[in-house]
Structure 1
């Protein structure tokens, strides 16, 4: 019984470390789907916003102000930025790409691990849109 408990504990530790330490490859995550399809399922959110003057910079500041969020790749000058936001306890990474597309801004949020994020990405994107003044 003790061996089984030890094995389960080690498996949980390995899973925790993989989620926390797995590298985030910008070549994989710093992109938008092309063509832009409907989101691929739970944990995937694709939102279009009206790109008024200064909105991309304002949204970038809002996103950077989000807890446990950092820039993975890109810049305002490039017209596309990808962020990684990690969950508080396990550190699950969610990736969000903000990009200028014609007269719109596109936000594409997606999870890396699991089949669902229980609505976390949709809520986060809605909060950012609300702070920008473009609804949730």
Structure 2
């Protein structure tokens, strides 16, 4: 019985380490949103009219968000992908933001699991709400 408990604990620790420390492939995650607004099981796409400097404004909001850092890209490049980790387990979510003329294309999705339980939609909605004057 004790051995099974130790095996279970070791499995949980290893899984947690994999989730928190596995590398992020920028070629897979640093991709622009396609299409119009869309709700998915594990993410969301939003297209909003922000004017030509929407990406710079959203970059300031995103980089100030807790547990969020830039994975790839930059404002001068016109596209940035952020990685945001959950507070307890460190699950990574990826949000790619692209300036397309006066439109801002936001594509947020989770890496692990089939559903994100609205986490990405809530984060994107919060960031976009802060863009409003």
1:21-80 CA deviation, whole Å, 9 max, x = no partner?
Answer: 0001111110125x4377573121000110314221111100111000000000111100
Which runs of structure 2 are paired with 1:28-47 in the superposition (5 Å)? 28-33=28-33, 35-36=34-35, 39=38, 41-47=40-46
| CA root-mean-square deviation | 1.7
Instruction: For 1:81 and 1:53, locate their aligned partners in 2 and report how far apart those are by CA, in whole Å.
Output: 15
Q: Provide structure 1 residue ranges, at least 5 long, that are not aligned to the other structure.
A: none
Q: Give 3-state SS (helix, strand or coil) of 2:56's partner.
A: helix
Aligned to 1:116: 115
Q: Residue 84 of structure 1 corresponds to which residue in structure 2? A: 83
Give 2:124's aligned residue.
125
Any stretches of 5+ residues in structure 2 without a counterpart?
none
TM-score by length of 2: 0.92
Map of 1:1-40 to 2, 5 A cutoff?
1-33=1-33, 35-36=34-35, 39=38
* Greater alpha carbon shift after TM alignment, 49-58 vs 65-74: 49-58
Structure 1 residue aligned with 2:59: 60
Do the aligned partners of 2:95 and 2:109 also contact (CA within 8 Å) in 1? yes
**Equivalent in the alignment of 2:102:** 103
Partners of 1:53 and 1:29 lie apart in 2 by 24
Which stretch shifts more, 118-127 or 95-104? 95-104
Quickly say closer, same or farther: Cα 1:39–1:99, change in 2 above 3 A.
same
